[in-house]
Chain A
Amino acid sequence: MVELYFMDARSKLIDIAAFMDRVERSGETGDYRYREFVKALAALDAPDRAEGVLNLLSDPSEGPLEQAGAGPAVGAYNKD
């Protein structure tokens, strides 16, 4: 697996690092999507990481909404 995927994962890891640098330089670290992104990194410290990241970026509420919200899904749920 390491032989097959290391270079690809290395590239993506550097992309993530560069994305975080970019957001920091642009002063957008307060954006809730970025805050949730940073929180989701915690899932990398435990097994089932992909599932863990997806869960941390998901809406944790239960029950249907009264009305569909406007606009498309954005990839992170504002938990604050």
Chain B
Amino acid sequence: MRYIEPHAHMVSRTMDDYQAMAMAGCRAICEPAFWAGFDRSSVAGFYDYFCQLTEHEPKRAARYHIAHYSWICINPKEAEDPQFAREVINIIPEFLKQENVLGVGEIGLNKNSKNEAAIFEEQVQLALDHNQLILIHTPHLEDKFKGTKLTIDMLRQFGDIDPGRVMIDHVEEHTIKMVLDAGFWGGITLYPESKCTPPRAVDMLERYGDSNRLWMNSACDWGVSDPLALPKAILELRKRGFDEATIDRFVYQNPVKFMQQSGIRFLPDA
């Protein structure tokens, strides 16, 4: 079955993963900029990473006939040094012009600190100034509820923001309603332990899927994660009696609808 992986950190994955995803029906992968597992020490390190995302990774994906798109930002985990973060933000605009860049992301909060909030707001403004889509990371575990509330409160301060152009990712049962009620898109992340299992993701789609502002993703990276989490969720949807057209809406049409707002040629044949 065709599907789009709207959030995967493929720089941390092997070619075997690309092959498995292609064989499972993956047509496109969208890769947000993220924390590498260690803090980078220079702006040049970020520049190289952004080049890897926009130039090198699409070539790896193309070997398996998967389209590859990326999101550019400095992630919240490296935003605790605001001066350094601002130097990185200065190099982002040149990447936003590229034809395979979807927008600014994944920005947001990690530990809900004031510095993280300041850099988040500056990157939201950057996105608005360049008419970009926004992809937002919400904090992990015990920090998620508070961080999601803070994120929505900050976004509301931007009078000119269109919530239909903002994806708030990693929602769970305690945050999904506040995200959708505020008009934003929500991403459900399928993680073996720290986020959602496929049955829980399907529970949320049963309750909120009619919003047509939800997608699922694996967010696979260098940690414990599963690049085939989405095909497994598709099986779960079938077990729960969803028809193929509805499943296609969740795993293909919804992501296409959101990404095509970017203005780039996102899967032009979709």
Contacts and interface: CB of A to CB of B under 8 A. Distances in A.
Nearest to B113: A68
Given A5-B199, A51-B174, A64-B116, A69 B141 contact: no
A9 to B, nearest CB: 10
B198 to A, nearest CB: 11
Contacts of B149: 62
Main secondary structure of the interface of A (DSSP, over half): loop
Given A51-B174, A58-B146, A67-B115, A75 B239 contact: no
Contacts of A54: 144-145, 172-174
A74 interface: yes
A64 B173 contact: no
A54 to B, nearest CB: 4
Contact of A69 (B111, B117, B146, B172): B111
Main secondary structure of the interface of B (DSSP, over half): helix
B173 A65 contact: no
A48 interface: yes
A69 B141 CA distance: 14
Interface residues of B, number: 29
B99 interface: no
A68 B115 contact: yes
Contact of B142 (A50, A57, A66): A57
B262 interface: no
A70 to B, nearest CB: 9
B32 interface: no
B79 to A, nearest CB: 9
B143 A59 contact: yes
Contact of A68 (B110, B199, B200, B203): B110
A59 B172 contact: no
A55 B140 contact: no
B145 A65 contact: no
